[in-house]
Structure 1
Amino acid sequence: MQLYNKLSAKERAALIDEAGTDRLTLSFYKYAHIGNTDIFRNHLFIHWDELEVLGRIYVASEGINGQLSVPAPNFEAFKTHLDSISFLENVRLNIAREQDIKSFLKLKVKIRKKIVADGLDDETFDVTDKGVHVDAKKFNELIDDPDTVLVDMRNHYESEIGHFKGAVTPDVDTFRDSLDIIEEDLKEHKEDKKLVMYCTGGIRCEKASAYYRHKGFKNVFQLEGGIIEYARQVEEKGLENKYLGKNFVFDHRRSERISEDVISNCHQCGKPCDNHVNCENEACHLLFIQCEECASKMDSCCSTECQEINSLPYEEQKALRKGKGNSNKIFKKGRSEVLKYKQ
């Protein structure tokens, strides 16, 4: 029985074009205690492969995190299958604001130690003992309160292109980096301030809310459904949009626009820009912000060195990459000495 994806991204893209069917990009997560992750993972793959679901799904003993694409005609069958799993019944599905039928091109269901890496080794920490969930209306009220500290639980390259007004945006590369930094910065306010957090879809700030409760913070809140759900409620209910710019997303789209504000700059020339790209040199693949003029000038590369390599015949590029792993610039997204205007 096939329990893994066999098609290349190119082959899948061709099949999607041939099918001509609309697809829905969505995400969901749920913290829960899962006993046998192998059986659960295989169960999901078998059922979702039949429904032509594509995406990146992580399963761990602490729960599940899914970012995926479903053919529109199969959505109800997909939802019925989710509801058949006790702890996923009526789970919140965050539907993308901007749809792309090729947001995902493979089905990957992977087992991880944790669905959100946190670097913690504390058996007394209960990730299900979370803070108070609030909707967009209550969130707006809370962040207008002078006794509130609003914290962005995302990484630097995400908050750079978009964040809420007045938010603390830690300059971190990973979620685990932010936990101790925020606790140290706010340790004097564990009882007298409201700690309000947000992230893309809710998964990171939910774990963070449980962590800070564990660390003694008394008034902990999180934006339910994250920025994705906030944008939907703002539009549906006619609320004030307090988010500036774009919401970074982890699929081929890279971002969704939430407001018309452009709050970041091209990393190469400094002009206002919030378009993330990957360096065209496959040996680099650095994620950075690049305007159309610089993309044209630099052949969509991050540096003249990468531009020169990318101009070589493919076989020469492949030979240069042989035996070499990609540099840590890929992990350090948006951080490189060649990027003159990285904030």
Structure 2
Amino acid sequence: MYRILLVDDEPMILKGLSVFIQQSGIRISSIRLAANGREALQAIGEELPDFVFTDIRMPVMDGLSLCEAIAKQEYPVQTVVVSGYGDFSYAQACMAFGVREYLLKPVAKRELADTLRRLVQRAEKQKPASAYLSVAKMDAWLERFDQAIYYMNRSQVQELLEEWRRETSAFQLQERQKAEMLEEFHGLLVKKLRAREMNIELDDSLELSPDSTGEEAFGRFAERIGQTMDRLYRKRKGKWKDPIEEAKHYIERNLASEVSLEEVADQLGLHPNYFSVMFKQATGETFVQYRTKRRMEYAKRMLGEESHRITDISYAVGYADHSNFTKTFKKYEGISPSEYRQRLGI
């Protein structure tokens, strides 16, 4: 996404350039306007643009002085001079200040598109490797934060936040750009967490002000993560363990009850559909298959103790209907409960 600053004292010129640029097809983050060089320098100080298009003849501060100021400040921007035919000698003077592009008024749409293409090509070649997060790296960060938050690993979250701060502090971005990057990352993280259907409130935005610094954005980002983990903690009734292990323990404690998938999902603060898929991926079995297996294994242990009647055992593993218990046990073990006891010599 590219930030563009247009500088000209003629409103119609600014409007025409803005429309042409928007129609060019390049990825644009913002297009800002300035009526003279002084306004342009103020705008550059507030938010560093990638490309500056400036007229030569303007009141207060002309384009030549603006190009000189940009060069002296060593702003990492590409400047394009836009001027009339009679000002070509001034445009040539701008070349001494690193200006490599020149457009003649009236600007033709095709010439502007070609200029933009060259600007983008240079920007991509010159962009430092540490100045942005690649898509692959962004995905890796998202995955790490997502896992740490979901499993409520606060120490790991803290480590990730500190690592993020160290890495992004080296980025060659202005404060506002760092804030925007964090806002974008937060939005992607919320989207990823929502896919887990955790049934908790998630804040869509960091709610940053236009003049927020990167440090302020980082503080709000860390605060949002803390709030998310607190909500998840409360939803899970204070449980900090692996949700799958917690589900197994819950089933084990309630073998005598007709525990449903929806009930366990609610205990964990998960959407039933998501919990069903996650449980199958983790155990290789459906919720019902796992619950039945645990019931039958418990029933086998009880059948090995002569003091338990088979009817009592069926109730103990959640079967009010004795015949249903016998049918399920035989399907699971290959023999009936009474035959199983006979093999044990009971």
Q: Tell me the TM-score range normalised by the shorter chain.
A: under 0.3
Quick check: which one's strand share is greater?
1
TM-score (norm 1): 0.23
Query: Quick one: higher RCO (CA 8 Å, sep 6+), 1 or 2?
Result: 1
Larger Rg: 2
Quick check: which one's helix share is greater?
2
